[in-house]
Amino acid sequence: MDSAAAVSFDANGTIGAYQIGVLISCVLLGVTTTQAYIYYSRFPQDLAILKALVAFVLVCEVAHAICIVHALYQFTILDFGHPQRVFSRLPISLDTAIFFSTIIEQSVLGFFSFRIYTLSRKLCVPLLIVLVAFVHLLGSMATFIITLRLPSLQSYTAHWGWLSLANWCASVVNDVLTTAVLVVLLYNQRKSAQRKTVALVDKIIVWTIETGMLTSASTVFMIIFLPQYLTMKERDDLARGVCRLRT
């Protein structure tokens, strides 16, 4: 890699940002594991299919964490001293993490769709959520396959950056729609509930808003910063340096 590309490389905005994301993800994996333990210990009488869904999501979460940690190890250890490799072909483990992330999201949305149907006994909204989720699934699977075949990250951002933007927009639509519908349905149930049950319903409404809006907010931030990444000068300078090395 030439000296100009080396100087322009910004580890804070690339490997550093990814490392922070991995650390936060590992913390959240611990939270998820704790929640799964509490669930199995407090609700042993739940349906077997619901227990299996929780176990499946937890296994996928662990697999996702392993993939992103392996990618971080490759970026910081195996590729140490070679920053040009950050923008070459992505590690297969990072591509696989996209696959597991999609499976987790679709499983959770499927559960919420069923919950909405149980509360409303109407199919229109659950079918809409499933439709948007299916579009997101197709987009994520396309991203997974494309990133496996493309020679570099620059090629993906140049030709397929819009696909990531579309996937995240679909994710935001589903999160907001699911949260809003659940809040409305729970609020309607609150009107006919007994006084002792009202407090519990209120807590569920707050939890629904917190969980739904948190994921929506994180995705919105990614949508906001994606165009800045696609036009990031340091990334383009480094990529040009890599191309000069290869030729």
**pLDDT at 171 (0 to 100):** 83
Reported as a pLDDT band with limits 50, 70 and 90, residue 39 is very high
Distances (CA, A) of 86 to 54, 122, 238, 242: 35, 48, 9, 10
CB burial readout 86-109, b (16+ within 10 A) else e: bbbebbebbbbbbbbbbbbbbbbb
Percent of the chain exceeding pLDDT 70 equals: 70
**pLDDT at 33 (0 to 100):** 96
**pLDDT at 145 (0 to 100):** 87
Stretch among 117-121, 201-205, 236-240 having the lowest mean pLDDT: 236-240
Q: What is the mean pLDDT of residues 124-128?
A: 90
**pLDDT at 78 (0 to 100):** 85
Range among 68-77, 150-159, 229-238 with highest mean pLDDT value: 68-77
DSSP-derived letter for residue 214 is: H
**pLDDT at 41 (0 to 100):** 95
